[in-house]
Amino acid sequence: MSKSNKPIVWGPFAAGGTVTAFLTPVLTLLALFAAMRFSPDMFTYASMHAFASNWLGKLIIFGVITLSLWHAAHRFRITLFDFGVRADLVVATILYMIAAIGTVSTIFSLLSI
C-alpha cells in the first residue's frame, strides 16, 4: 500500500468546510442585503470596493470564495458517489474543473479591481 494523494483535495475541502460552516452563509446574506441597499454604511459600494482594493482584503475574499468552491466540489463528488453515480473520475474531473475555473476567475476579477 502506498500513501494516498487525497490530501491535495482534502486539505482545501476541510478548510473550505470550516469556512462554509462559519462564514459563507453570513457573507451571502450580507452581500444580498448590500445588493438590495438594505444594509448599514459599512456595506456601501464605496467601502466594499475599498476593502477589495486592499491586498489583505483581496486575500480574504480569495480565500473565502475559492475554499468554498473546492469544498462544494469535493462534497458534491462524495454525495454523487453515495447516490450511486460511480463514474467517479468523470464526476471528479468536471467538479474540480468548475472549482478551478472559479478560482482562476476569482484571481482575475480581484486583480482587476
Partner 1 sequence: MSERQIQLEVLRYDPETDREPRFQTYTVPCLNEWVVLDALNYVKDNLDTTVSYRWSCHMAVCGSCGMMINGEPKLACKAFIHEYPDQIRVEPMAHFPIERDLVTVVEDFITKFASVKPYLIPKEDKPVSAGEFKQTPAELMKFKQYTLCINCMLCYAACPQYGLVPEFLGPAAISMAHRYNQDSRDGGRDQRQEVIASHEGVWECSFVGACSEVCPKHVDPAGALQQVKVASTIDWYKEHLMPWSKK
Binding site residues, partner 1, CB under 8 A:
1-8, 10-11, 14, 78, 81-82
Judged by beta carbon, residue 11 or residue 25, the one nearer partner 1 is 11
Q: What values do phi and psi take at 78, rounded to 5?
A: -65, -40
- Work out how close the CB of 5 gets to partner 1 at its nearest, in angstroms, rounded to a whole number: 7
* CA gap 100, 12 in Å, rounded: 12
Judged by beta carbon, residue 10 or residue 43, the one nearer partner 1 is 10
- Work out how close the CB of 93 gets to partner 1 at its nearest, in angstroms, rounded to a whole number: 18
